[in-house]
Amino acid sequence: MPAVIPPTVDRGNDWFWDGVAERKLLIQRCARCGLLRRHGAPMCGSCHSVESDTQESTGRGTIHSWIVSKHPTEPDADDRIVVLVELEEGIRLVSNLVDADPGEVENEQAVELCFETYGDVTLPQFRLVR
């Protein structure tokens, strides 16, 4: 079993993974009005344009919510802390929190972006700001 399932890259999310390959966390932005969109939104929630470009995130944010994920069939698999991060740009993103124990995690804690590589897959992840 692979450590992570490789992402499915398509025409709708290739901009995100191109950014990850360059170790950048990109946010989709409306090309007409400039409103930032949540990841994967097909059109602007304000002006309804489907045209978009991107903006690089600072990678700073806070934990909006979190859970500990346990693998359902592999008892020896490491637990993961899954976080819903509110980026300082106001966009929320689901990711993993690395180098932390569940007992030290709380909502509203400051986190920062890092990139972790698992085999051939690099993912944007977050660490607590200590």
Which residues contribute to the site for Zn ion (CB under 5 A)?
30, 32-33, 35, 44, 46-47, 49
Element of type H or E holding 26: strand 26-30
Residue 48 C-beta: closest distance to Zn ion, Å: 7
Q: Which is nearer to Zn ion, 26 or 63 (CB)?
A: 26
Structure token pair of residue 41: 């939104």
Residue 30 C-beta: closest distance to Zn ion, Å: 3
Q: Which is nearer to Zn ion, 21 or 33 (CB)?
A: 33
Residue 18 C-beta: closest distance to Zn ion, Å: 22
Q: Which is nearer to Zn ion, 50 or 67 (CB)?
A: 50
Residue 10's Cβ-side half-sphere holds a number of Cα atoms within 13 Å equal to 3
Residue 37 C-beta: closest distance to Zn ion, Å: 8
User: Residue with structure tokens 């698999």?
Assistant: 77
Length of the chain: 130
Q: Name the phi and psi angles at 23, rounded to 5.
A: 55, 45
Q: Which is nearer to Zn ion, 54 or 122 (CB)?
A: 54
Task: Choose among 100, 92, 102: nearest CA to 127.
Answer: 100
